[in-house]
Amino acid sequence: MASRNDAEEKLLEKARRYLPGGNGGNLTLPQELEFLASHGSGSHIYDVSGNEYVDWLMGSGPMILGHAYPAVTEAVIKAVELGSTFFTTNDKAVELAEELVSAIPCAEQVIFTTSGTDACFQAMRAARAFTGKEKILKFEGAFHGTSDYALMSLTPPASVEYPQSMASTAGIPRAIEDLMLIAPYNDLATTEAIINAHQGDLAAVIVEPVQRVISPKPGFLQGLRNITKKHGVLLIFDEVVTSFRLAYGGAQEYFGVTPDMSTTGKIMGGGYPLAALAGKADLLSVYDKQTSDDDHFINRIGTLNGNPIACAAGLATLSEMRKKGTYERINRAGGAVRNAILDICNENGVPVQSCGEDSIFDVYFSEQPVTNYRDTLSADGAMMTRFNTGLLERGILKGAQKYYPSAVHTDEDVEKTIEAIREVIPLAR
């Protein structure tokens, strides 16, 4: 277990005093393993005490080129020297918009936001403004950020009947329950029945193409595309995680299915606060005051929307992602760890289900196949906590859910991670 020096101990105490829960609200660690990140390089991060970790969290996904990647750092430094923000359209935002439209199959135009939460919120708002309908269908267990709409039925009990929604956090008005419909992921029949029953009020369906780490069944996404077209309902892909990760064109390219709108974030911002909503020009016309009347126009003011520094980081990142061999390296590293977990669990008689794709995955300790949120409820969550804790004690960092392989994870990183997994699995069961 890593030791803490006096400087880090004092900072940890300040964190507990000044931050609710002692952290920023993202990754919560056991108190005995709490640390404060100081800096990162490549696939490793370091705490204030100087302890080193192989990082599979990678900032929750955006650092696909690793921490402090030279080309991105250089682009950011140059951008900073030219000014931090202008509150008017800047050249870097226009260049990045062009690249996003080129890369994303559904994109004819984009609007910039500062977070995936806002991009998904804007997608749902745009659907309502364009169609004049108020309800949105999402899938149980899906995470589309922290807006009131997105946090409906993120972690509901299995007793809630479809399509009823339920708030998964405090502070959400009860009225939101009537505006969100909930369906089970990977279940086309139930989804179509809900859409058919509510099509007169339903503006859109929003879906994570890979829901957390659960991959779509063959034909699910295309079936969803067919159903929404049939019933005149918009289809939104939340690709904040999968864009530029599964493929350069995201899940749309990877699975060969094109929605009406999609959100993108994380990777496209190069580790800076940036996200976007992409879609057909007629749909995004609701953001153009010159072409929309008062009943359809959406005000999208945001102080840092399309920030030039973030856009410069995004352009540099995407330039690197286009280089030959990048995706092969990401998938090779992820596939090696993913397969090793399965092998080690099988060797130790531990029931396990591997979910996701090589570039974004995790496991559930369960005998039951996992194809939707309710399947995850039967998994051994306590073992997952022990497993993640055991890895962290051995200098391997991952989140509560998801491995984020990068283009800079080395063979040594993979070997060290597998060795830690080999030690931890027998102890965690």
Co-location of 350 and 270 in the same domain: no
- Does a structural domain hold residue 119? yes
At 428, is the pLDDT very low, low, confident or very high (cuts 50, 70, 90)? confident
Residues 68-95 have a mean pLDDT of 97
From CA 120, how far away is CA 145, in angstroms rounded? 7
DSSP state of 218: T
- Does a structural domain hold residue 1? no
Co-location of 34 and 160 in the same domain: no
Q: Which of 153, 149, 155 has its CA nearest to residue 122?
A: 149
DSSP state of 96: H
Whether the predicted pLDDT of 143 surpasses 90: yes
- What CATH number has the domain bearing residue 397? 3.90.1150.10
Give the residue numbers spanning the domain of 92. Answer: 70-321
What proportion of the chain, given as a percentage, has pLDDT over 70?
100
Instruction: Confirm if 263 and 111 have CB atoms less than 8 A apart.
Output: no
Whether the predicted pLDDT of 294 surpasses 80: no
Co-location of 147 and 168 in the same domain: yes
**pLDDT in the model for residue 388:** 97
Co-location of 295 and 345 in the same domain: no
From CA 341, how far away is CA 344, in angstroms rounded? 5
Distance of alpha carbon 28 from its chain centroid, rounded?
Answer: 18
At 2, is the pLDDT very low, low, confident or very high (cuts 50, 70, 90)? confident
The residues near 173 (Cβ < 8 Å, ≥ 6 apart) are 148
Q: What total number of domains does the chain contain?
A: 2
- End position of a domain, from candidates 274, 296, 321: 321
- Does a structural domain hold residue 343? yes
Whether the predicted pLDDT of 257 surpasses 80: yes
Residues 27-56 have a mean pLDDT of 95
From CA 320, how far away is CA 310, in angstroms rounded? 16
**pLDDT in the model for residue 291:** 87
Co-location of 77 and 58 in the same domain: no
Co-location of 206 and 338 in the same domain: no
- End position of a domain, from candidates 321, 337, 361: 321
3-state secondary structure 12-62: HHHHHHHCHHHCCCCCCCCHHHCCCEEEEEECEEEECCCCEEEECCHHHCC
- End position of a domain, from candidates 285, 306, 321: 321
Co-location of 316 and 342 in the same domain: no
pLDDT tens-place string over residues 88-97? 999 999 999 9
